[in-house]
Chain A
Amino acid sequence: MSARVLVGVKRVIDYAVKIRVKPDNSGVVTDGVKHSMNPFCEIAVEEAVKLKEKKLIKEVVVVSCGPQQVQETIRTALAMGADRGIHVEVSGKDSDTLGPLQVSKILAALAKKEDARLVILGKQAIDDDCNQTGQMTAALLDWPQGTFASEVVLEGDKLKVVREVDGGLETVRLRMPAVVTADLRLNTPRYATLPNIMKAKKKKIDVVKPSDLGVDLTSRLEVLRVDEPPQRQAGVKVETVEDLLSKLKEAGRI
């Protein structure tokens, strides 16, 4: 198949880092903090690379929006096996207010420009936890969406997607082109090997501006403040099961 897949990746604070709220409540501390590719985006990249290895698609194009540093995230995806990258340059204040709606407009414009048959994204980013970009990209393109995917099967010009829903699994069949968002069990992303990291350095990353794609970055959402969540007080240690059960009975919990 000669299809092209577009994969979006996001640079976020590494999942293992303890998040600290800034003292002036304007956001969380990001300076000097380790960043990585959003784990759900890694799964999206892996799925696209697997499709290519199975020769079901021709090319994997990886996109990231943000300041210069997102090129590192694009390189990671290239080292995992993506073919080329597009860096949509957004910096300064625009980068602070860049949200899923603006990113979806960028992705939809690129999907058209690149003539993609499939867009694969992570189901959510672990920083803003929005879980919106895939759904909105699909809407803007008027394509069907297979969100929270745990299995994706290409069936000619159709795509079968098994989705993680609240009570279990759901299967849908989508007409291509389509948007898929990756859930945890879709696959296990590979680690980039050293030779592949070296090879990725030679792969091409195009830099474009949102205005080149006709996308306006105005945001009508404003974060007024960011706070620490209320902390739960640690309780007591009990020694025996008997003791535990009597305390739970006293509290009226059992």
Chain B
Amino acid sequence: QSTLVVAEHTNDKLTPITLNVISAARKLGDEVSCLVAGTNCAKVVGEISKVQGVKKVLVAQHDAYKGLLPEELTPLILATQKQFQFTHICAGASAFGKNLLPRVAAKLDVAPISDIIEIKSPDTFVRTIYAGNALSTVKCSESVKVFSVRGTSFEAALVEGGSATKEEVLPLPPAGMSEWIEQNLTKSNRPELTSAKVVVSGGRGLKSGDNFKLLYDLADKLNAAVGASRAAVDAGFVPNDMQVGQTGKIVAPELYIAVGISGAIQHLAGMKDSKTIVAINKDPDAPIFQVADYGIVADLFKVVPEMTEALKK
């Protein structure tokens, strides 16, 4: 067995989910290689070389890899695959990995497997279907297994103790069919949603985008990230990148506080692996209470400021 992990990074920093993917890859065997493609990624290469369990880091640098466009990365991965004949190719089930891996798989004429949560054996994987309402165990008989990994289902590999060898990979001529223009990332001083230890999320019960301030105040006291249900996103209260759920982000923090969220199936799929769940909702029959460890049936507009006050002490 030999596995290629396609690293997700910002040239300066490895995106945390890559460490979860490396852990998943190690379950398949010791031969774990990572591909770092970028424009100027010496820093990331240094970081990933230290990750426990990584044997080899393949580095490809070229201006065409700006923005990590799938049209440019796919030929590079195919060339790498031709050279090293990996048995498995994987990446995180993030916007990056979901965009890239199916393109690679189709070019290899293999069926990829998305968003796995468990590896049963080198050819058998478990993934969720129907927004987490069922678990599907899939056996893959393809010559090379291409899959994306749900970050919250695997521990992060440690960034210490590793001593991977480094190998340059020659960049390929640019495909040139797509062009990366810009990225507008939501600026926030709060922790990132998918890796935060505490998440405070709001639903339609918040009634407006302005009222999310109540959640930001509470989140600041808990060093928490702020998320939202799809209902709150659809209602235009907050941007889509805050959405927790099957079609948004999957989170599994130590503490998840659901405020004014009824608990639609697709939302539960995005947060039910949280270690402790707190629900604040004035409707005692809201389904969110069925998954919550602690619930308060009360008006959120009273309870949330009260919590923030109490935490100030």
Contacts and interface: CB of A to CB of B under 8 A. Distances in A.
Interface residues of B, number: 89
A173 interface: yes
A232 B178 contact: no
A185 interface: yes
Nearest to B275: A253
Nearest to B223: A254
B1 interface: no
A142 B74 CA distance: 11
A144 B71 contact: yes
A132 B112 CA distance: 8
Interface of A: 13, 15, 18-19, 21, 28, 99-101, 104, 123-124, 126-133, 135-140, 142-145, 147-148, 150, 160, 163-175, 183-185, 219-229, 232, 234-242, 244-245, 247-248, 251, 253-254
B307 A241 contact: yes
Given A129-B246, A244-B307, A224 B124 contact: yes
A173 B178 contact: yes
A145 B182 contact: no
A150 to B, nearest CB: 7
B136 A226 contact: yes
5 contacts: A135-B99, A168-B184, A170-B183, A171-B184, A244-B294
B287 to A, nearest CB: 10
Interface centre among A138, A167, A172 (most CB of B within 10 A): A167
B101 to A, nearest CB: 8
B102 to A, nearest CB: 4
A184 B234 contact: yes
B136 A245 contact: no
A18 B276 CA distance: 25
Nearest to A229: B135
A13 B102 contact: no
B129 A135 contact: no
B254 interface: yes
Nearest to A108: B106
B307 A245 contact: yes
Nearest to A135: B102
Given A136-B105, A136-B106, A144-B178, A232 B184 contact: no
